[in-house]
Structure 1
Amino acid sequence: MLNSILFVSHEASRTGAPIVLLHFLKWLKQNTNIYFVILLKKDGELRSEFEAIAPTYLYPFPYTPLNGLKGKVIGNWNTYIGLPNYYKNLKKALEAHNIGLIYANSIESGKLLHFLSFLNCRVITHVHELEYAFHFTQKYNDPENFNYLFEYTNHYIAVANVVKKNLVEQHKIKEQVVDIVYEFVPDNITLTSNSSKIKQSLNIPDDAFIVGLSGTMDLRKGFDLLIQLVKEVYSQISTKDIYFIWVGGNFDSEYYFVANMDAERTNVNKFIRLIGPQKDPISYFSCFDIFTLLSREDPFPLVCLENALLSKPIICFEGGGGMPELVEENAGFVVPYLNISSMAQKIIYLKQNPSIRYTFGENAKKKVAHKYITSACAPQILNIIKKVNPGIEQPENAHNQSS
């Protein structure tokens, strides 16, 4: 019986969608005897963690490009012999696992679903993206990606109401084949450092008020708005004890260079720390007083859930994604889209009203602990899997997943 699952991750980077998939697969292995395998469209730093859970395959043909005549000869061999053989063997390996369901963890998996169509099974696509991602995936990937995605997908999981709405209204997906399961984080967060040590390492006074931000340094995440926000805050308040820490991003980015240039020219560089990606971002989040989301579009970012679980109130933009669904009126503030002045006012308000800040933070924590953690969301995904392919529900036919 075809009762195992093939989970397809579009990449193995330490970013939102692969991390959520990893959380779910760990839960699935610990709480069921369902057999599954993993296929990575792109390699990345999480590959070893996927491999520790289940048999893991790479879709990209593994070769190192070479220059000169040798490179040309090897390139021709790869094109006409190596590549076809690699994919032939990959198909053979996957067929041996009795796959009865494909679970694609991104809208970027359309072309891969076409490759996997020989398995002739039902497909769930987990949509972590909004229209910005749809646009640029279409622009920079195979133009047939979405044709394949919509052709092969039988059921969708959307990570927020706004994501489902976008699928239905912009891409004409039938509402009845879209279920909502919010993004989620592990039930417990472990801190490995205290906030005083973090502040000291960043040369920030221990009594400073910290505004936390996190993400890649790009337009979608609103990184270009950071300097404007800092400048606006200090135009509205005379004290000089508010610091801004941005966790994540690429120091080689043009946006990083421009941000430093703008910060220096506007004399706010003293109050900004751009610290790049961290192995333990949670410990940095722990020293935040509030978390601010500058994203123009962000479906339901994990960094907000992680900060909420640490009792940090959240400020975000209306119309910028799914986070207003969590924040509402009692876990922070939702300000008008791209209204930097309003966001600055709310930052100052929360600084000056610690009791409200505390209440909002505790409300945020309670919401996440109740609704947006693995133990709450993973069973919802499993129920959808069973609904789409009832054969998966029969544990007596499942393989024994090696531990």
Structure 2
Amino acid sequence: MKKILFIGHDANRAGAQLVLLQLLKMLKQRNIPTHLLLGAGGPLETDYQKLTGVTKWPEPVRQLYGRRIDKQLYRLRIGQWLHRRIEQERWRAFEEDLRSQNIGLVLVNTVTNSSLYRQIFEWVKPVPTILFAHELELAIRMYTQPENLRFLLDHTDRLIAVSRAVAHHYVDAYGFDASRISTFQLIDIPGLLQKIEQARQLPDLLLQQGIPENAIIVGGCGNAEWRKGNDLFNVIARQVISQHPTVPVYFVWVGMPRNELYEDLTLDLQKAGLSNRVLFIEPTPDVFRYTTRFDIFALCSREDPYPLVVLEAALSETPVVCFDKAGGAPELVETDGGFVVPYLDTVAMADQIGALINDQALRRAMGQTLRQKVIERHSSEKSMRSFLSIVDQLTATTA
């Protein structure tokens, strides 16, 4: 059996990369051969290597022998020749590695990889291609070039969209054939439930951070950036906390690197007098030890196609409050798994978070309903059967 070549842009601990990790794990359990091409490394790289062979995109030549020697070599115009030769050797080894993999199908995990796909296209054609689309308009503009995305879409045989919102976007914005789109999410529900249960058995990390045991935690999670609405998270925290002066409400965001955005948001909190009530946790493999402590999940994203963090919150029985028109989360939350509020209406979001703070029974009921919907709608076995059916259809036509 030929391999499925997966293309991933990096190995950072973020939603699309974690979904890919889960998919590789489920395919390995079924003895389906795979190989992974990574555009860059990251914390998940070792986890990927435990599941499949990994080829990394060749790194640019940054140094030949050392700063002083390189300076002399470039002055003599020998450095330029050596530089080109090393790059050519790296690229040749990279090409030989990929061509040796016996590839029968390519799966491009996110449109971010459109440039990588275009550059290796001549090596993998005419094998069929699946695009696993996780992005909407903002992310597409941030992470792709129009000509690369057009090339990828023109050579995509089937598109898997993580939500109806994503499917509609590729039909409406790019004219992709709706009959070649499947809409489902590939997640390992048994594996996630196991991680959630294991996390609950461990000591409370928020207690160690000085947050009282009886606190109500409003949580957010994800790689911090403008698209994720971290600035809105602070605004909503101020509104909610001011409306509940006698309730120990704390806001916790997991996935905030110590960068310029962190500095800006921390300054905001200092000015608002909220430094002791809003906590930013760096990206961590212990994410479930924080998120299982959440009482309410605030999805402040301006755009999020169908975030894995919402599915994880649901499996933890945590109700979700999100914005309408910001992606696929409203398709799951609806009216019984939390609240969907008008786009960027932080007052409405604060009010609905307040309603959940004031009603423990409502929190419990909505959290339980949300969990049940994920289990029913995103059965790991059902999603895997759908995926393998697509693989079988595409590979049968090229056999």
TM-score normalised to structure 2 length: 0.90
Counterparts of 1:67 and 1:144, CA distance in 2: 37
User: In structure 1, what is the equivalent of residue 347 of structure 2?
Assistant: 341
Does structure 1 residue 35 correspond to structure 2 residue 42?
A: no
Contact 1:195 1:284 in 2 (8 A): no
One-letter amino acid of the counterpart of residue 197, structure 1 = D
Supply the distance in 1 between the matched residues of 2:258 and 2:280 (Cα, whole angstroms).
Answer: 9
Partner SS state of residue 389, structure 1: helix
The 8 Å contact of residues 195 and 286 in structure 1, kept in 2 or not, is answered as no
Corresponding residue number in structure 1 for 2:101 = 97
Counterpart residue type for residue 177 of structure 2: K
**Native 8 Å contact 2:58 2:94 kept in 1:** no
Q: Which residue identity is paired with 1:172? A: G
Superposed CA deviations along residues 322-344 of structure 1, whole A, max 9, x for unmatched, are: 00011011110001111111111
Instruction: Please state how far the C-alpha of 1:62 moved relative to its aligned partner.
Output: 6.3
Q: Decide which moves more: 64-73 or 303-312.
A: 64-73
Corresponding residue pairs, total = 387
2:139 to 133, 143, 146: 133
- Pairwise CA distance, 1:69: 4.7
Report the TM-score when normalising by structure 1: 0.89
Question: How big is the shift at 1:49?
Answer: 1.6
How far the C-alpha of 1:195 sits from its partner, in A, is 8.1
Q: Quick one: distance in 2 between partners of 1:25 and 1:229?
A: 37
Task: Work out which of the residue numbers 188, 210, 224 in structure 1 matches 2:231.
Answer: 224
The counterpart of 2:181, out of the listed 173, 178, 181, is: 178
Q: Could you tell me which residue of structure 2 aligns to residue 86 of structure 1?
A: 90
Secondary structure of 1:192's counterpart equals: helix
* C-alpha RMSD of matched pairs (Å): 2.2
Counterparts of 1:94 and 1:217, CA distance in 2: 33
Which residue, out of 281, 291, 315, partners 1:275? 281
SS in 1 for 2:199: coil
Q: Whole-Å Cα distance in 1 between the matches of residues 274 and 236 of structure 2?
A: 10
Query: 1:50-74: per-residue Cα shift (whole Å, max 9, x none)?
Result: 2222221111236443545516658
CA contact (8 A) 1:315 1:334 kept: yes
* Conserved? CA contact 2:161–2:184, under 8 Å: yes
- Distance, in Å, in 1 between the alignment partners of 2:365 and 2:22 is 29
Q: Which residue of 2 aligns with 1:398?
A: none
Q: Is structure 2 residue 356 aligned with structure 1 residue 350?
A: yes
User: Per the alignment, in what secondary structure is the counterpart of residue 160 of structure 2?
Assistant: strand
The aligned amino acid for 1:99 is I
Give distance in 2, aligned partners of 1:205 and 1:196.
Answer: 13
Pair 1:370–1:123, CA change in 2 (3 A)? same
- The one of 158, 168, 173 aligned to 1:155: 158
Matched, 1:119 2:118: no
Matched with 1:233 is 240
| 1:14 and 2:21 correspond | no
Whether contact under 8 Å (2:184, 2:378) holds in the other structure is no
Partner of 1:326: 332
- DSSP 3-state at the match of 2:87: helix
Counterpart CA distance in 2 for 1:151 and 1:354 is 50
Q: Deviations over 1:230-252 (max 9, x none)?
A: 22113433324111111112112
Q: Distance in 2 between matches of 1:238 and 1:263?
A: 17
Deviation at 1:224, TM superposition (A): 0.7
Question: What amino acid sits opposite 2:7 in the alignment?
Answer: V
Say whether residues 1:70 and 2:70 are aligned partners: yes
- The question of whether the paired residues in 1 share the 8 Å contact of 2:231 and 2:265 is answered with yes
- CA deviation profile, 1:241-285 (whole Å, cap 9, x unmatched): 111111112112x22222222212222222111122222111111
Greater shift in the superposed pair: 333-342 or 76-85: 76-85
Residues 115 and 196 of structure 1: CA distance in aligned 2, closer, same or farther (over 3 Å):
closer
Alpha carbons of structure 1 residues 75 and 40: separation in structure 2 relative to 1, 3 Å: farther
Q: Distance in 1 between matches of 2:111 and 2:39?
A: 12
Mapped to 1, the partners of 2:208 and 2:368 lie a distance apart of: 27
Equivalent-residue separation in structure 2 for 1:151 and 1:288 (angstroms)? 43
| 2-structure distance, mates of 1:38, 1:75 | 33
Deviation at 1:39, TM superposition (A): 1.0
